[in-house]
Amino acid sequence: MAFSVVQNCRRRFVSGVHPKGRSMVARHQSTVTSEPVRAYPLDNGVRLAADPAPGNLASVSVVVNAGVSHEQPKLNGVANLLQLASVKTQAAEAHKIGATLIGQTTRETTTYNITCLPEDAAKAVEILGQIVSSPVQAESFEQARTEVISSRKELWDVVNKEVVMDYLYSAAYQQTPFQQTVGGEIADLKRATLEDLTAFRAKNYTGSNLVVSASGAIETEKLTPLVESAFSGVAQSQSRFISERVPFTGSFMHIRDETTKDVQVAIGFETFSYNHKHALTLGILKELVGEWSNQSRAGTYASARLAEGFALQKLVDNYHTFNHQYKNTGLFGVYASTTEIDKVDDVVYHIFNEFQKLFTYISPEELFRAQNGLKNKILATEATTALRSQVVGQQMLGLDRRVSVGEAFRRIDSITVSDVQDVIDHYFYDVDPVVVAHGDLEEMPDYVVMRNWTYWNRW
């Protein structure tokens, strides 16, 4: 296995879309409203936000401003390890009330969520309070570490999409905490101790770094005293976010491995944070670039023009567009996998060329379809009480307010073709991308060639 790093048409009218359909749907969707969600700060800085909804379940979440980017050098994976060990420690208590307890760690945050019957909400809040303040059991720590190390070994034995995306982050955010993997390096996981987890929690699970959010059949008035009691042991502190832009490095990671039958390529561009005025515009662009799989029932009739081209020419087995936004950076791009090894250069060219095509022309029908696709994804985050409570907590932590579905829909409806093309012009045109490729890369273009594909000469 060779390893190297190099530093730095017009669409037809869509049948079935009535000329007046856009304005009629927009008027209907703009009426979607919800009561504003307020944040109630406790004395120690912990914030409580509740978004009640009718139903038979209640969900309570804790979103912590503590992720991979807050880890110390040589201790990569501590944030995820703490989350897993904490869930294991409290799992028995959650099972006693028939509740579902889950956790998730990202590069910026850690989230715990428990879903239960409304009458068990008090116990659920107590369990979450124990997670953020009580010691982790040594047995749970050892079990979590063993499971993580085992899963990491399996990943590296068979390079898949998750590994390629980890490579992409390591190339894009060199010499920054964002280059570290969420799961952690095996050597660091073996080195970690229970004292390291305790120290990480003491430093990060504090005051304004925590947001407690709830949704479902729950009343804010009854929830407030429960949270005050359960989280009274949390130390007071100021919220910590990285205040400056995270450095981004355009680069090419070339991992040649002729033992595999497919080639995986990930192409990324530096964008902006989730509180940028064009954050939703990136969501529209993601829908326009689209996704496709040879297992899809859409076949060659995919709506995105890139998906249609890939399907008709049988260039890829699957591809998807990703849009990862953080407090002070963003990574947007396309991941593709193909067994057509002799056509890798065509795959890469089509991906870069798609942004130039969109910069040149986007039809009203394409924009309309992309807007509805983004709205559908937003509605999907409101489908369950668990998802809704997590979204409320994440928005309160990052934006300091809840963005209602109605507001999101109105902002999406206001996005124009010019807005999308302005974003492409500023962040995708004539820039240094980050590229990671794995497999038999004899037909992989050179970085200089790919860099030249980010612009067209126009006269």
Q: Tell me if 62 sits within 8 A of 389, measured CB to CB.
A: no
Q: Residue 3: what pLDDT? A: 47
Q: What is the DSSP letter of 54?
A: S
User: And the tokens for 409?
Assistant: 């829909």
Q: Tell me if 274 sits within 8 A of 258, measured CB to CB.
A: no
Angstrom CA distances, 349 to 113, 252, 306, 361, 406, stand at 42, 15, 11, 18, 39
For 120, the enclosing helix (H) or strand (E) is none
Beta bridge partners of 215: 51, 59
- Go through the chain and tell me how many residues it has: 459
The model carries a pTM of 0.89
Distance CA 169, CA 270 (A): 11
DSSP string for 384-420? SHHHHHHHHHHHHHHHSS---HHHHHHHHHT--HHHH
- Residues of the chain where predicted confidence (pLDDT) is lower than 50: 1-33, 459
The dihedral sign for the CA sequence 405, 411, 413, 416: negative
Q: Residue 244: what pLDDT? A: 79
Q: Residue 35: what pLDDT? A: 65
Amino acid in position 123: K
What is the per-residue pLDDT across 120-168, written as a single tens digit (0 to 9) for each?
999 999 999 999 999 899 999 999 999 999 998 887 778 899 999 999 9
419 CB-near residues (< 8 Å, 6+ apart): 278, 281, 284
